[in-house]
Amino acid sequence: MEADSNLTIVLLAMLAGAIRVSTPFLFVSLGECLTEKSGRINLGLEGTLVFGAMTAYAISYHSGSPWLGVLVAGFAGSLFGALHGYICKLPRVNDIAIGIALMLFGTGLAFFLGKAYIQPQAPRLPSIQLGGWSDNAQVQSALQINPLFLVGIALAVFLWWAFRNTRWGLIVRMTGDSAPAALAMGYSVNWVRFTATTVGGFCAGVGGAFLSLYYPGSWSEGLSSGQGLMAVALVIFARWNPLACFGAALLFGAAGALGPALQSIGVTQGYYFFNAAPYVLTLLIMIASTSPKRSLKGAPGELSITK
């Protein structure tokens, strides 16, 4: 009986964690999915995420409106995306090297500008209570859902639909899979990629806002701890499918909640090990999903890692 309820607690906590922790993964991976579908890799999204978190917190603190913070974080993110997109269209520039540079630049700039915001309390994003039907407090807290989570789901569905049913979706896929074909049809490959990277940056910025304004809900330098980079791995795991990105984000969220969940039922041994679950998962997924003998299935043909 004891074991049963403990298991329920852990599973509920992981579900709650999946919903709470997955949102930044979801936004960053959708942004990266869009960018990679256009044929470019933006590793700088980690920096964008951190910078978005700082911006959102600062704006929310000064204006009193967390939603304004989210919006500004998105625009700050798109600036980073645009910078990446602009530099990469110069000749002989490697998108991965630029991504790493921008990742360091974004986090560094965020730490520099964000020093003043570590102490003060900014207004946080509200949540929607969807657990009213249950009298179990744990279920209620698990189903406290942030509107951004729902926006993320809608965005995933929209991207999935748009990749097949809109002109823009087809053009992005075409650019990502065969630049010569896109050029032959008169589309500017650079412009498509620039736009995709910019919009991808916007998504990552919004993901950062969630980190600082909802969960964990404050600005500190160790806020992201590599989530932006894991989201890039997640896109590969999701085989560049936005819907699968959502599933993968939930999985990563649940893995991230494993440590705290076990702690809540008194399993303290190996706390740090369980906290490392998402990183272990990233590693395992990368090993399982690649092979020296075949190329990645579903990978956009223009990506510099698959070429």
Instruction: Give the binding site for another protein (CB under 8 A).
Output: 164-168, 170-171, 173-174, 177-178, 180-182, 184-186, 291, 293-295, 297-298, 300-301
Burial (CB < 10 A; 0-12, 13-18, 19+), residue 84, is buried
Report, in Å, the least distance between residue 262 CB and another protein. Answer: 38
- Kindly state the helix (H) or strand (E) to which residue 247 belongs, with its residue range: helix 242-256
Please name the residues in contact with 120: beta carbons below 8 A apart, sequence gap of 6 or more. Answer: 61
User: At its nearest, how many Å lie between another protein and the CB of residue 296?
Assistant: 10
- CB of 92 or CB of 297, closer to another protein: 297
Find the shortest distance in angstroms from Cβ 307 to another protein. Answer: 13
The distance of closest approach from Cβ of residue 180 to another protein in the complex, given in angstroms and rounded to an integer, is 7
Query: Between 108 and 298, whose beta carbon lies closer to another protein?
Result: 298
Q: Which is nearer to another protein, 158 or 271 (CB)?
A: 158
Smallest separation (angstroms) from another protein to the CB of 297: 7
**CB nearer another protein, residue 4 or residue 297:** 297
With respect to another protein, which residue has the nearer C-beta, 136 or 295?
Answer: 295
> In the beta sheet, which residues pair with residue 145?
128
How far apart (Å, rounded) are the C-alpha atoms in residues 87 and 216?
A: 33
Give yes or no for a contact between 296 and 303, defined as CB atoms under 8 angstroms apart: no
The tokens for 85 are 């997109």
CB within 8 Å of 3: residues ≥ 6 apart: none
